[in-house]
Structure 1
Amino acid sequence: MTNRKPHTALPWAAVVLTAIVALYMALVAFGNITDFGTNQQFVRHVLAMDTTFKDTDLMWRSITSHTAADVAYLAVIAWETAAALLLAVGAAWWAVRIRHEGGRGRLLSTLGLLMVLVLFGAGFLAIGGEWFAMWQSKDWNGTEAATRNFTIAGIALLVVQLAGMGERRAEPAA
């Protein structure tokens, strides 16, 4: 009897999903860099809360400083770029070593996908959507897109983790 791991498509699915999210994040970062002004305005309006219901109980949260909004936007772009790079390297590393343990590729994929989940879950849904009441805006509401991006990254993360479960089971007991 051999100790060969069973061949499944799950590791390849994980690689493909990771690569898709890497491509998407790279295109998002590229778009934000090359068309800086469009989403710069988005971030400024969301933080200023100038298109929300203007409830006096919430408006104290608004940030109207263009400098502060621009720093936040630059941080988002840097985060997107780092996540895209991590995901691309993770997918490539994993694809090259697909017959072996995912190891480093799975780890990098996991970290990159967690970065995407933090960006869209904590950054856009929780902070932008709830703290800055972005959901109230008809013009500057990114909650639907954030939910879509969060969901795709979450599904990819589940597949990456499922693909890694088979590898952990194949390891000899200590």
Structure 2
Amino acid sequence: MAARLSKILLVASVGLLALVIVLNNLTDYNANFRYIQHVLSMDTVFADSRLTWRAIHAPAVQRAAYGAIIGVETAIAALCLVGAVRLLGLLSAAGVTFNRAKATAIYGLTLAFLFWFVGFMVVAGEWFTMWQSLEWNGQQPAFRFIGCVGFVLLYLSLADSDLPE
């Protein structure tokens, strides 16, 4: 029971993190949008970079990208929170039933891992060379999210019978 409850709480914690991020992005839209603008426009990368041809300067495209980011963060929050509630409802169920009910939470955690890894490490970090920016480099926070989410995903994925109670 303790392992199940800890899995539920950890999944809910990731959902709560994503929900707070969504709320921050919506309630402080311009502050967080500036980050997207700088990363996509590549205006703070090395002056002699040969990769700035990748830059996106169109405000409409930048806003669409930010909207997509908020949308994915919303999906992560919903999947993780719904998954945690679903698992909580099956806290005392048979192991096979509890394990089968993990799918929604696993989808949410997988989406979160992919979002922060592909979105922030691969696309922003490498394609838009965010790593070159002293002011607008979000790779360290993204890496922390990836590590936390990855741990929760691995832990949740363990079969119920694999853990001592």
TM norm. shorter chain > 0.5: yes
The reply on whether 1:94 has 2:90 as its aligned counterpart is no
Corresponding position of 2:27: 34
1:89, 1:105 within 8 Å by CA — same for their partners in 2? no
Deviations 1:87-145 (A, max 9, x none): 10100110110122224541011000011111100000110001101011011010000
1:116, 1:153 within 8 Å by CA — same for their partners in 2? yes
Deviations 1:33-58 (A, max 9, x none): 11111111100100111001033421
How many equivalent pairs are there? 159
Corresponding position of 1:70: 63
Change (3 A) 1:54 1:61: farther
Q: Separation in 2 of the partners of 1:41 and 1:109? A: 31
| Superposition deviation, residue 9 in structure 1 | 2.5
Q: Separation in 2 of the partners of 1:106 and 1:49? A: 40
- 3-state secondary structure, aligned to 2:102: helix
The alignment yields a C-alpha RMSD, in angstroms, of 1.4
User: Quick one: percent identity of the two aligned structures?
Assistant: 35
1:90, 1:104 within 8 Å by CA — same for their partners in 2? no
Structure 2 counterpart of 1:115, one-letter code: L
| Superposition deviation, residue 10 in structure 1 | 2.2
Gaps of 5+ in 1: 1-7, 168-174
Who wins on radius of gyration, i.e. which is larger?
A: 1
Structure 1 counterpart of 2:125, one-letter code: G
Deviations 1:18-45 (A, max 9, x none): 0100000000001101111111110010
Instruction: Give the ranges of 4+ consecutive aligned residues of structure 1 lying more than 6 Å apart after TM superposition.
Output: none
Q: Separation in 2 of the partners of 1:77 and 1:19? A: 19
